[in-house]
Every structure is written in C-alpha cells, then in structure tokens.
A and B are shown apart, each in its own frame.
Chain A
Amino acid sequence: MNNQYIPLSLLPIGKKAKVKALTSDGTMRRRMLDLGLISDTIVEALQKSPSGDPTAYQIRGAVIALRSEEASKIMIEAY
C-alpha cells in the first residue's frame, strides 16, 4: 500500500479527498461499494455527531454517516 494514503477517519471536517482503496472485506466491503466508494470517488467530511462518532460524509450526492471503524478502512488521498 502506498504510504501517502491515509484512512478516511483522519480526514478533517470540511476537507475533501479521493478514495484510493478499501481495506475491508466481506459484507463491509460490499456495503462500501454499494455506497459508490470505488477508486477516485470524491468524499467530503461534513461533520461529526455530538459525541464525536460517527462522522457524516458527502458521498456521490448523498450524506452518509460512517463509524470510525468503517472510515478507517477506507484509504484516501488528499484532494
């Protein structure tokens, strides 16, 4: 894996990034793919929930909340 990729969970609020790889497998991977999280998809971190987790992301026009566990398995590149 390329070193310059960071997990989505580290993307600061208000920043955009490009999805580069999914490190999850099985059902979780399928679900991420269903969201349209394929290579080069642009995601934007919108805001955290009051208790800090999950975080809402803008993904292909929809707002999706992901827990940090899921977001940490999505590798991104700053955009």
Chain B
Amino acid sequence: MGLTSQSTGTGVLDSEFRIERSTPGDKVIALAGNPNVGKSTVFNSLTGLNQHTGNWPGKTVTNALGKYLHKDKNFYMIDIPGTYSLMATSAEEEVARDFVCFGKPDATVVVADATCLERNLNLVLQTLEITDRVVVCINLIDEAKRKKISIDYSALSKLLGVPVIPTVARSNKGLTELMDAVYEVANKSLITKPIKITYDKSIEHAIKMLQPRIWELVDGMINNRWVALKLLDGDPALLKSLEKYLGFNLLDDNKLLELLDSAKKHLANNGIQPDQLRDKIVSRLVHIAEDITTNTVTFDNKQYNCTDRKIDGILTSRIFGIPIMLGLLALVFWLTIEGANVPSGIIADFLFGIEAKLTELFMSAGSPEWLHGILVLGMYRTLAWVVSVMLPPMAIFFPLFTLLEDSGYLPRIAFNLDNFFKKACAHGKQALTMCMGFGCNAAGVIGCRIIDSPRERLIAILTNVFVPCNGRFPTLIAIGTIFIGGTVGGAFKSLSSTLVLTGIVLLGIFMTLLVSYTLSKTILKGLPSSFTLELPPYRRPQVGRIIIRSIFDRTLFVLGRAVAIAAPAGLVIWLMANIKVSDISLLTYSANFLDPFGKLLGMDGYIMMAFILGLPANEIVVPIIIMSYMASGSMLELEALEDLRNLLVSHGWTWLTGVCVMLFSLMHFPCGTTLWTIRKETQSMKWTLASFAIPTAAGIIICFIVANLIRLLGLV
C-alpha cells in the first residue's frame, strides 16, 4: 500500500540476482522472513530507508535495497519478499529463493516471529539447507513476553548452529547485536555450524549418488547437496533459475542424467515415488521444527492467543463483521472530512495571500503580463490549490488508514470478503491487492504478484483501478464535501459527505467483483484456485511511528508527485487558456469539442479535459477543473471552499455533475504510472489496453445511465 521508491518503478533488482558492490569490502545481506514478522521494520530500522511495513503476505512485493554502515564496513541489505517457504509455489517465493540461492549474499538474515516460532522455523531450516551464513533474528519478543511465551535463545542458537538474536525492531531493541552478528558472519570471523538436516536412508543414498558429479559440474558455486535434493524433487522453475545462474543446463550433462535416473530408481525401489519425495522432505523439516520448539519454547499461558480470538470473535463475526468493517471505513472518512475543513481554509488563505504578494512583486518589478500569467496565475495558483485541497485530507486519512493496517485488521477484511471473491471466481488474495490499491493502484498492481495463478492475477491487475487510490481520494473528498455535502448543509453536512464517500468505495468494491466475475466468465475463464490466508496476531500500533511514517512515506510523497505534475500542468492550462486562435482559446476550443460528450455523461467539456490532462496523476483533476473555469470565466479569488462551490455552480454544476465526476473519478483509465506498471507486470500491450478500456467503458456506461436517468426523472 505504501508508495515507496519500489512501487513507483525505481525499484532495484527486479529479477536480477546480483547487485554491484561499490568497493570490494562491501557486504551484501539478504533479509528473509515469513510475512507479518516485522521484516520491513527491521529493514527500515537498520537502513533508515523509507520502506513501508505491512501486515499481509507479499508486502515487499519486489526487492528493496538499503544500506547501512557498521563498524568499518558498508552493508547492502536486500529486503526480499516475505515467504513461508523457499519451495516456490508463487512468483515471489521464487524471487526470494533465487536471491538466497544465487544472489551470493555474504549473509542471510532470517527474521522470525517470537510468538509463532515453530511455523517460522520452517523457513529458517530451508535457508540453512542452502547456505551456512545465516543469522536468525527473533523479532517481536515484546509481544511474546506479553503472551507469556519464553524462548531459550542460547539453546536455540546451539540447536540451529547459527547466531540467534532476539529483537524488538520497532523500538530498536537488539539491532546493534544483530548488526554485530551479521558483521561477524559476513566477514567469516564467525564460522557457523548449521544443523545437519538428514532424511531417510534411501533419500540420503540418492543424494550421495548425485553429489560428486554435481560438485564437478558446479565447482563450489552452489551447495551441491541442496542441488542434488532439488534435482530429485524435479522443480522445473528452480531448474530454470539454476540454468540462468550457471549459464548452462545441468541436465544437459549425460552422466548426471544417468545418475539422476538411477537415483530416482533407487528411491522408487525403496517405496518413494516422485510425488512422495516432497512430502517426506517437508515432513522432515516440520518435525525438526517441532522438536526444536519443544526444547526451546515454553508457553506459561496456554491460552496465549485468547485475546486475539476474542477480538476476531467480534471483528469477523457473522453479525458484526461486515457492519463493523463498513463502520470503520465510514469513520475514517468522517474524521477526514470533518477534520480537513478548517485547515484547508487556513492553508488556502495563507497560500492565496502569498499569491497576492507575488502579483504585487511582479507588478512593481514591471514584468510582462504573460510572465506573471504563466508563473503566478498558471503554476503558482495550481500548486496552491493542490496543496490546500489535498494536504489536510491526506494528513488525516493516511495515518488513520495506516493505523488499521498496522493493527492487523486488513487481513480480516480479506477474511470477511473472501466468499464474495470466491463467488466472482477470483483469488482470495485479491481482497488484499484491492486494499493495497487504496494506497496506490500501481502498488496494488505490483502486489498482485502474491497471486500465483496467472488467470487470477490478471483479473486482480485489471480490476485494481476500481478502488480509489490516494490520488483520487482528495478529488472524491473535495467534491463530496463542497458539493454533495454542501447541498444538504447544516449539521448533516459531513455525515452526508461520509455516506456518499462510503457509497462510492462500496460501489468500487462491487464493480471489482462484477468485473472480476464477468472476466472469469468471458475472456479469462476458469475456477478459483487454492489459497491460504494468514490472520496474523493483532498488534498494538505505535501511534508516533505511524504518524511520522504516513506523513513522510505517503502524504509528502503523494503531495510531491502531485506538485511536480501540477506545476507544469498549470502552465499548460494557462497557455491553453491564453493562446487564442481567432478569438477562441485553445482550452475553450478543446472543451467545446468535448462538451457534447461530457454533457452526455452528466459533466462538461472542461471536466473531460481535466480527466484527460490528469492522466499523469489523478491528483490534479480538480485543480485543472478550477484552473480552466477561472481562466475561461471570471477571475475569482478562491478563499474558502464555499467559493469553490460558487465557482462550480456558476459553471453549471448541479449535484448530478458532482455525482458524475465522482463516478467517473472512480471509474476511468488508470493513471500513467499504473498503466506503465501494468505493462511491466503483464508484459503485454493487449492487457495494458484492456486495463485502460475496461474501467473507462464502465465509467462511461454508468455515468451515461445515471445522468440520463436522473434527467429523465426530472430530479435536477
């Protein structure tokens, strides 16, 4: 959900294994771990990079790179996707495994959840099968203490044969020790002796049959015992990665093929068919994890999960589950709308005060009219609008949303909604990628990598844009507040805006399901595939951290992007409004051209222009509308939201116009960044075009129906 450098396309290491060290002494550290264990918090605390943490599988959708200095060495840390296993059943497990196997990290840190150690040990053990240089970081020990779970770390370290460091990453506890351990392991000043995982006699025999030949072929480039095991297992995706890494296909070697053949025969003779091998391997790891946990973890309170169950009993109950979900959504909107009103006015007053000063300055300096027009009336005014309309709602909305996210509530939304997605023949995790879309549709699209069935992933990608992203929330909030809410007036103003906004979001979810269903029945036929969803323990969110993070990660980032795009857009609009061909400005000319079409959809030509010009970023749609109205009509001093309402009304807006703008804002082509991301993720021009056409068509159809039905009924 976070807009980070990775979600906006500047991410590093997309599918490549290796990263460049700037000096030979620099160390590369892979950061692995199950989802929901605070891995990204560890990453953030160590590297200081603004990289967002989340509560669902696949938060780190692509590798993020951070750097820290410890003692005399630079450490490059790669945050690989959170996975339960390295046996690759999904695209991101593959990325995780490939990096640990082939990225040649100097050390791998596996972050584990102290409250759920047994489950987390599976990944630790799988990592130890690949590499010796591992440091285990047991995070969330404060939560474990609260649940009266005690862990004998030194015994655990002895059993695993690698350093085990307890941490509370969110309050920076244990991180120095972690860095020390990583330093020692990466520099080989500490030689680890990882636990030897051995299998049935016949499997061991089969491994030994292959090992020498593999060793000859790969010459120490990779753990040959592990390769032998994987060859026996016959995982095609791994073989592909292996070929890419080695530069040749191991199975082109006839001698190895022969050995593999006889090793498999040996297994079969001992009653292990190919499909049973995987079961045996996994069972062995699970048993070892169970043994280790029995010897190192004690539960003083057998009912340690009791509180979580009680909370779940309410938040996901049959009667209250869905009403509470809707209530929370509405509450977030209400607080945003109610809270943003006053600061919006103050900021607008302030910024437009500066505009007056700027104008005076330009006048006294005797600058030409056009320069003042471009810079002040064009660029500055648009900027001022973007900031005053967007900043306050974002500064309230994002921390609230992050609060829900950090408490562990979002996976419960997926749990509540899953049945609907199943009925739409879509993947259950689509509910999660949909939630990510609330932050940024581009991030939501990348997040679809957590869905491993290509059909369902494509459905999730194509429908992601049906949930309003944070670039569109300000538009929806602004129009909803100053327009729809405004027509009611009085005490019900924010309440009615809240209801409208909640309704819009529900419509977005409904459209997501409807379009998913339609796609499943037409061009993307198929049945829902299997999935599992973890409901992580609830965690007390850290309010201070949330405010700081959501302001820096999201609010300022989104605002910065909007400003960067709004300034040139303001300039373009001003030029279009002031360059005249036979007395008609370019803007009026284009708007007139689009006007009949706009009217058909309950809007007008200027609004249509604004959506088209807003392609680079949805944030600037409302400012463009304002700019074009002001440039084409009377120059208003917009000081309060009420003035904006008057401006819109004077340009023929009714509540129906407001509704249609909100509907079209919800359903139209994705922004440029999202389209580009979809192109990258689907590797297909055809699906990118579909992602453009589907929501646009839906928006046009729905706006057309609504506008004409309301007009026909004579409600406006």
Interface string of B405-435 (1 = CB under 8 A from A): 0000000000110111010000010000000
Q: Tell me which of A46, A58, A61 has the highest count of chain B C-beta atoms within 10 A of its own C-beta.
A: A61
A50 and B422 form a contact (CB under 8 A): no
Q: Which residues of B contact A65 (CB under 8 A)?
A: 415, 418, 428, 532-535
What's the Cα separation between A65 and B117 when bound, in Å?
19
B225 within 8 A of partner (CB): no
Which of A29, A34, A56, A69 has a CB less than 8 Å from the CB of B84? A34
B375 within 8 A of partner (CB): no
A51 and B419 form a contact (CB under 8 A): yes
The range of chain A's interface size is 35 or more
Interface of A: prevailing SS:
mixed
Which of A31, A46, A51, A67 has a CB less than 8 Å from the CB of B428? A67
What's the Cα separation between A37 and B333 when bound, in Å?
41
Interface string of B314-327 (1 = CB under 8 A from A): 00111101100000
Interface string of A34-53 (1 = CB under 8 A from B): 11101101000011111111
A3 within 8 A of partner (CB): no
Shortest distance in angstroms between B135's beta carbon and chain A's nearest beta carbon?
Answer: 22
What's the Cα separation between A56 and B316 when bound, in Å?
10
Contact A30/B422 with A47-B316, A54-B533 known, Cβ cut-off 8 Å: no
Which of B115, B278, B317, B428 has a CB less than 8 Å from the CB of A30? B278
A67 and B530 form a contact (CB under 8 A): yes
Contact A54/B530 with A30-B278, A34-B282 known, Cβ cut-off 8 Å: no
What's the Cα separation between A53 and B422 when bound, in Å?
9
B116 within 8 A of partner (CB): yes
B452 within 8 A of partner (CB): yes
What's the Cα separation between A51 and B317 when bound, in Å?
9
Q: Which residues of A contact B283 (CB under 8 A)?
A: 33, 38-39
B119 within 8 A of partner (CB): yes
B313 within 8 A of partner (CB): yes
Q: Which residues of A contact B532 (CB under 8 A)?
A: 31-32, 35, 64-66, 70
Which of A50, A56, A70 has a CB less than 8 Å from the CB of B535? A56
Q: Which residues of B contact A1 (CB under 8 A)?
A: none
What's the Cα separation between A39 and B278 when bound, in Å?
14
Q: Which residues of A contact B318 (CB under 8 A)?
A: 48, 50, 52
Which of B275, B530, B536 has a CB less than 8 Å from the CB of A70? B530
Interface string of B104-134 (1 = CB under 8 A from A): 0000000000011111001000000000000
B286 within 8 A of partner (CB): yes
Q: Which residues of A contact B521 (CB under 8 A)?
A: none
Q: Which residues of B contact A29 (CB under 8 A)?
A: 278-279
What's the Cα separation between A63 and B282 when bound, in Å?
20
Shortest distance in angstroms between B83's beta carbon and chain A's nearest beta carbon?
Answer: 9
A35 and B84 form a contact (CB under 8 A): yes
Which of B119, B275, B279, B452 has a CB less than 8 Å from the CB of A36? B119
Q: Which residues of A contact B282 (CB under 8 A)?
A: 30, 33-34, 38
Q: Which residues of B contact A32 (CB under 8 A)?
A: 532
Shortest distance in angstroms between A53's beta carbon and chain B's nearest beta carbon?
Answer: 5
Q: Which residues of A contact B531 (CB under 8 A)?
A: 31, 67, 70
What's the Cα separation between A62 and B121 when bound, in Å?
13
B89 within 8 A of partner (CB): yes
Nearest A residue to B317 via CB reads A50
Nearest A residue to B84 via CB reads A34
B87 and A36 form a contact (CB under 8 A): no
Contact A49/B416 with A33-B282, A38-B282, A67-B531 known, Cβ cut-off 8 Å: yes
B545 within 8 A of partner (CB): no
B116 and A62 form a contact (CB under 8 A): yes
B312 and A38 form a contact (CB under 8 A): no
Within 8 A of A (CB), among B308-355: 308-309, 312-313, 316-319, 321-322
Shortest distance in angstroms between A43's beta carbon and chain B's nearest beta carbon?
Answer: 13
Q: Tell me which of B115, B321, B420, B530 has the highest count of chain A C-beta atoms within 10 A of its own C-beta.
A: B530
Nearest B residue to A49 via CB reads B415
Which of A56, A62, A66, A67 has a CB less than 8 Å from the CB of B312? A56
B419 and A61 form a contact (CB under 8 A): no
Which of A49, A59, A63, A69 has a CB less than 8 Å from the CB of B321? A49
Pick the 5 closest A-B CB pairs, nearest first. A50-B321, A51-B419, A28-B530, A33-B282, A65-B533
Q: A35-B532, A49-B419, A63-B535 are in contact. List 12 more A-B contacts (CB 8 A).
A: A30-B278, A34-B89, A39-B283, A49-B321, A53-B422, A54-B418, A60-B119, A61-B119, A64-B534, A65-B533, A65-B535, A70-B531
18 pairs, CB–CB < 8 Å, chain A vs chain B: A27-B529, A33-B278, A33-B279, A34-B89, A35-B84, A35-B532, A38-B279, A46-B312, A49-B418, A50-B321, A50-B322, A50-B416, A51-B419, A54-B533, A56-B312, A61-B119, A63-B312, A66-B532
Chain B residues proximal to chain A, CB less than 8 Å: 84-85, 87, 89, 115-119, 122, 275, 278-279, 282-283, 286-287, 289-290, 305, 308-309, 312-313, 316-319, 321-322, 415-416, 418-420, 422, 428, 452, 528-537
